Every structure is written in structure tokens, then in C-alpha cells.
Chain A
Amino acid sequence: MTRRRPEPVQVIKQRRDSALSALVHGVPYIQFLGIEFDRRGDELTAVLPFADKLIGNPILPALHGGVTAAFLEVTAIIGLSWAYLWDDIESGTLDVDQLVAGKLPRLPKTIDFTVDYLRSGLPRDAYARAQINRSGRRYASVHVEAWQDNRHRAFAQGTGHFLMPPSDG
């Protein structure tokens, strides 16, 4: 039994990080909110660094409910796109150089999205992770949880349904 010798770790990391960066930084609205993604293997954590422009209630102060909704939705879409592209990134089918050059793949489209506001968003960084509960050829169902100081005290959660891009795109 022989198996192909694994690629050097830097090569793998560089390819994955370039693909993720191209995906995230290619979307102007994600840049506007300042959302970044931490990656460990295939696991992504979305990070929303606090900024004054994200405030909805200046008296508390608290994050704007719309920012929270957008953060959850961005986390779901990137999470879904990442899972959908992962095999092609790993196998090299997806040309990461093309991706970096701005040739983005088609992204899933939101059909509906529901947000539960569990407690007010504090004026500090927020984190979120998406869990794909169902991913078919056409439709996907994704759950997202967002927290701040304590991973087990979510300040918001959301569930959405998405239309997947055609497989040839």
C-alpha cells in the first residue's frame, strides 16, 4: 500500500488561506462591516471587531440589530460557500490564483433568514460559527450562533435557507 506523499504544510495553508481571503475580501459589504474569518482546518469562526458605526442604541450602547442580523447572514453564506468549495480547493480543481485575481465563484442566495435576539450585543468584538444542517444540490439550511465574551452565552442565533449556485458555475 502506498499513498501520495502529503503536501508540505505551508503549501496547504497558503492555498486554503488565499482561497478564504479571496472569498471574504471580494465582497464589499463584508469589508464595510469589517468582518474577518479565523480558520482552523476547515472550521471557520467569523470575527466582527467592534466599531462605533455598528452601534444601534447609543444610550446603552448596543450593537445594531441589523448589524447582528447581517453578521449572522454573512457567517452563514461564507460558511456554506466554504463547505461547498472545500473539496475543489483541496484537490486543486479550483484555481486559487483565479480566485485571488477576483474571479469569485457564484455564492449561495438567501431565501429567508430568521434571527433570535437573545441579549443585547455589547460594544465589543463578536464571534460567530455556522452549522450546515442540510446541504442539498439546490437548497441548504444553516444555523448560526453568535457570542461575545462567553462561547456558551450566545447573544443571537439565526437560521436561514439558501439557494445553492448551479453546480457548473
Chain B
Amino acid sequence: MGADKKAIASQFIAAIPHAQALGMEFTHIEGGRAEARMPYDERFVGDPKTGVMHGGAVSALLDTTCGAAVMSHPAAPGGTATIDLRIDYMRAATPGQAIRTRAHCYRITKSVAFVRAEALDDDEDLPVATATGAFTVEGARK
């Protein structure tokens, strides 16, 4: 991916209002792979008894990271939209810790991009959640 495309992808994602609202930031976007981070925030708690963040916030971060991975793929001509996304929740995220996501667009055709992703907190070895999704390839042949 050229530096210009990378800059465009970063800027585009920075311009997503909901990504801003969740405090997301991208730490790496290149060649069909993307990594992002979302700080712990009490407003995103899903279980007030434990302080664990809501799965929905993790889903939003995973979805955005997957979309960025698709857009950064050398064969992707432009934008993308989610066709479907499945998320498996392996365990509760540890309260107080940021969530980091890693997504890989491992296959792309003229019409569809296939992506896998995982969400981690400070424990590298045991993901909080994993995701698999199919995304559209926009700007390709009609």
C-alpha cells in the first residue's frame, strides 16, 4: 500500500464520527492488516456490577478494524461495507484495560473480502473475542 493510500485510510477512519465517539485509534494499517485500540471508558460498561465493557463496544471496534483491513488490501479499489460479521466472546474484558484489535483480510475477490479479527486486553494469550466477516468490495466492476 502506498503512503498516500495509507494516509487516506487513516484520515477516513479518523473522520468516522462513531469511531471518534468510542475513542478508537489506529495503530497500524497496511497490506490487508489493521490494528486498533480503544481505551477503557466507564460509559461503555455493559455490566455495572463488574465494570466489564459491553460486547457491543467491542463489536464496533472489531467491525471498524475489519473494514480498515479490507480498505488497506492492495487489491481493494476503494471503500467497503459489512455483509456479515460473527463475533465469538471468549471471556469478559478486564475492567480498566484498553481493548486492542487485529484484523486480517486474508482473501479478496472482485466482489467480496473475507476477514478474521481478534480483540485482546493486556493478556496477549487469551483473546477477549474473535470475529469473522464478509465485506463488500466497492468501486470494483459493476
Interface residues of A (CB under 8 A from B): 26-33, 52-58, 64-67, 69-71, 73-74, 102, 104, 106-107, 109-117, 120
**Are B45 and A54 touching (Cβ within 8 A)?**
no
B43→A113 contact, CB < 8 A? no
CB distance from A110 to the nearest CB of B (A): 5
Does B110 have its Cβ within 8 Å of any Cβ on chain A?
no
Which A residue's beta carbon lies closest to that of B85?
A115
Flag if A66 contacts B59 (CB, 8 Å).
yes
Residues 28-70 of B at the A interface (beta carbon under 8 Å):
42-49, 53-57, 59-64, 67
A39 to B5, CA, bound (A): 48
Q: Are A112 and B89 in contact, with the CB atoms below 8 A? A: yes
Q: Assuming A64-B60, A69-B56, is B18 touching A114 (CB within 8 A)?
A: no
A112 cross-chain contacts in B, Cβ below 8 A: 86-89
Are B59 and A29 neighbours in the complex by a CB distance under 8 Å? Answer: no
Nearest neighbor of A112 in chain B, beta-carbon distance? B88
- Is B49 in contact with A117, judged by CB distance below 8 angstroms? no
A32-B15 contact in complex given A66-B56, A113-B86, C-beta closer than 8 Å = no
Are A70 and B83 interface neighbours, CB within 8 A?
Answer: no
Measured CB to CB, the closest approach of chain A to B116, in angstroms, equals 14
Q: A27-B48, A29-B56, A66-B62 are in contact. List 19 more A-B contacts (CB 8 A).
A: A28-B44, A29-B45, A30-B54, A31-B43, A33-B56, A55-B16, A56-B18, A56-B64, A57-B81, A66-B63, A67-B60, A70-B55, A70-B57, A70-B60, A71-B56, A110-B55, A112-B88, A113-B59, A114-B86
25 contacts between A and B (CB under 8 A): A27-B46, A29-B44, A32-B43, A53-B21, A54-B18, A56-B18, A56-B64, A57-B81, A58-B16, A65-B82, A66-B62, A69-B59, A69-B60, A70-B55, A71-B56, A73-B55, A73-B56, A73-B59, A74-B54, A104-B49, A112-B87, A113-B86, A117-B81, A117-B82, A120-B81
Q: Given A28-B43, A29-B43: A69 and B15 within 8 A (CB)?
A: no
Contact with A along B112-133 (1 / 0, CB 8 A): 0000000000000000000000
- Residues in B neighbouring A104, C-beta threshold 8 A: 48-49
Tell me whether chain A's interface is mostly helix, strand or loop, or mixed.
Answer: mixed
B43 touches A55 (CB 8 A): no
Ranked nearest first, the 5 interchain pairs of A and B with the lowest CB-CB distance are: A66-B60, A70-B56, A29-B54, A64-B18, A53-B21
Q: Contact partner of B15 among A58, A67, A71, A114, CB < 8 A?
A: A58
Which chain B residue shows the least CB distance to A28?
Answer: B45
State in angstroms the CA–CA spacing of A64 and B92 once bound together.
Answer: 23
- Distance in angstroms from A104 CB to nearest chain B CB is 7
| Min CB–CB distance A8 → chain B (angstroms) | 32
